[in-house]
Amino acid sequence: HMVEEGAAIIDVGGESTRPGATPVPVAEELRRVIPVIEALHAALPVPVSIDTRRPEVMQAAVAAGAGLINDVSALQAPGALELAARLGVPVCLMHMQGTPQSMQQQPEYADVVTEVTDFLLARADLCIQRGINRDQILLDPGFGFGKTAAHNLQLLQQLQHLVASGFPVLAGLSRKSLIGQTLGLAVDKRLYAGIALAVLAVWKGAAIVRCHDVRETREAIQMCRVVRDAG
């Protein structure tokens, strides 16, 4: 269904990384994601992405057909970097302050744009040193992961700084609490505001947006791209 609506990548995760979420045992995470990845990989013409922080899950997921590792902890788990280099699939490195349990308690930055950019570029450099190809690396500023609404707004407004690094940038803003806090909308009422944020992210140079409402978001960002690249 999502692919029919224009999704280019399907992201599968077995551990909630919402604020306050409790960690899941690795065996349970594997039980949740591996059969799904196997089924999707067999049935779909688009790559499947594994959203995980754990090397064991990365390895099993790629063996099951996952074509992208999407890690909210930017391959910081012991052994994750080396494994990703061996697996040879693209990796998306995300910035998060703290852990999902703690990240929204009191996020603080001297300068959120500089700190997020510096962290991601340092992680990307380390990946390249460890044998991951430069063109296999994507960066995600981690909207909502250890950031207040003000931090998120600043990151989006200045997303071109991260884009200027030359790595493709992924932005995930769909249904985030930033919309709830700004407009006072329940999670199921955030479609239009989420589309606006996706369009702004693409206008600022994002290469990929992660969303829940595929057709609506795709039409909006396609139109945005056409205007951005006109002439």
Whole-angstrom distance, CA of residue 145 vs CA of residue 188: 20
Our answer to whether residue 228 is catalytic in this structure is: no
Residues whose CB is less than 8 angstroms from the CB of residue 61 and which lie 6 or more positions away in sequence, other chains included: 12, 33, 34, 37, 50, 52, 69
3-state secondary structure 172-214: ECCCCHHHHHHHCCCHHHCHHHHHHHHHHHHHCCCCEEECCCH
Our answer to whether residue 147 is catalytic in this structure is: no
Residue of 53, 147, 175, 176 marked active site: 176
Query: Are 156 and 173 contacting, i.e. CB atoms less than 8 angstroms apart?
Result: yes
CA torsion 176-19-138-181 (nearest 10°) is 30
Residue identified by tokens 């494994």 is 83
Q: Give the end-to-end CA distance of the chain in Å, rounded to a whole number.
A: 34
Report which of 72, 73, 8 is spatially closest to residue 45, judged by C-alpha positions.
8
Identity of the amino acid at 48: V
Q: Could you list the active site residues?
A: 176, 210
